[in-house]
A = this chain, B = another copy of it.
Amino acid sequence: MPAAGAAPVRRLGIDVGGTKCLAVVLDETGAVVGEERRPTPHGPQAIVDAIVALVDECRPFTSIGVGVPGLVTRAGVLRAAPNLVDTTDFHVREMLGERLGVAVEVDNDATCAAVAEWTFGAARGSSDFVLVTLGTGIGGGIVAGGALQRGANGFTGEIGHMVVDPHGPPCPCGRNGCWERYASGSGLGRLAREVAGEGRLVRVVELAGGDVAAVRGEHVQAAAAEGDAAALAVINDYARWVALGLVNLTNILDPQMFVLGGGLATAGEMYLAPILRWMTQLLYAPELRPHPQVVFAEWGERAGAVGAALLPTVR
């Protein structure tokens, strides 16, 4: 409770996404007491203008944090952002600090989402968990030993680029067989188009308007929800790839739980049973260890903004 006369806590967080910027204001209990959004423009200067406009709509605030997609240095510089146009070496913290005249915390959007789930979400109280966003790509945020991990440069959590098959399909990052080629939302679509190309996904292709090339993850989900066996087989294959990456992370980090977020998590229940079944098959010494829990993110599309708002509370 604020001291008599003190301004109430209003933590402002902004998530800069590929298509939109979302701002939220949190009170000290973690309740969202304000929310604004704007399209994401192209280039650092225009993005800074959009953020400043959102900030002005959300005043007053007691702290401010920003989440951005890509490699973010500990000094708040966005080094590489595949989903933002023209933003290599974007000095987010410095440019915003100068414009706003206040300190701004900046971090990777998946790291922010991990903070949101850790503080007020599915991973409350956990000392060891990995947040995994299954969207266009795969992002990650890691809490280990009771601390948010950022790494030597701030780049911890690029789990989507873990190579799980060096003979696999090419990734825009320049390598082959990155985990996100298989286990992201787009990975699901790619797996489905491969099967559809062999004529084995009649109902899914029908839902995609009869065009194999138009098949996306959502068509597989819709057909699977109807009980279509071929679509369920694709979901099962997809779940095996998700599990493979989760098991790799388990071998490396031994987390208590995985929190799955991103677009796919909204229909997550469909994937949960096959993911857990494959994890049991793939885990090292499955009978001799507790298995990590797999749960879904509670913050949905707000996770990045909520976590950005909470960045000043985390050390």
Q: Which residues of A contact B (CB under 8 A)?
A: 71, 79-80, 88-89, 127-128, 140, 142, 144-145, 147-159, 161-167, 173-175, 244, 247-249, 251-256, 282, 284-285, 288-290, 292
Contacts and interface: CB of A to CB of B under 8 A. Distances in A.
**Overall SS of chain A's interface:** loop
A173 B154 CA distance: 33
Q: How many copies does the complex hold?
A: 2
Contacts of A145: 144-145, 147-150
A256 B290 CA distance: 31
A150 B225 CA distance: 40
Contacts of A152: 127-128, 254-256, 290, 292
A285 B155 CA distance: 11
A175 B284 CA distance: 8
A145 to B, nearest CB: 5
B156 A253 contact: yes
A155 B282 contact: no
Contacts of A292: 152
A173 B284 CA distance: 6
A259 to B, nearest CB: 14
Contacts of A150: 145, 254
A142 B156 CA distance: 13
A256 B71 CA distance: 15
A284 B147 contact: no
A252 to B, nearest CB: 6
Given A163-B244, A166-B244, A153 B252 contact: no
A130 to B, nearest CB: 9
A244 to B, nearest CB: 6
Nearest to A79: B288
Contacts of A162: 162, 248, 251-252
Nearest to A88: B288
A285 B79 contact: yes
A167 B140 CA distance: 25
B127 A173 contact: no
Contacts of A288: 71, 79-80, 88-89
Q: Which 4 A-B pairs have the closest CB atoms?
A: A151-B254, A152-B256, A155-B254, A158-B251
Given A127-B152, A152-B292, A165-B166, A285 B173 contact: yes
Contact of A151 (B89, B144, B156): B144
> Which of A149, A166, A252 counts the most B-chain CB atoms under 10 A from its CB?
A252
Contact of A285 (B80, B254, B255): B80
Given A71-B285, A128-B152, A251 B80 contact: no
A156 B249 CA distance: 9
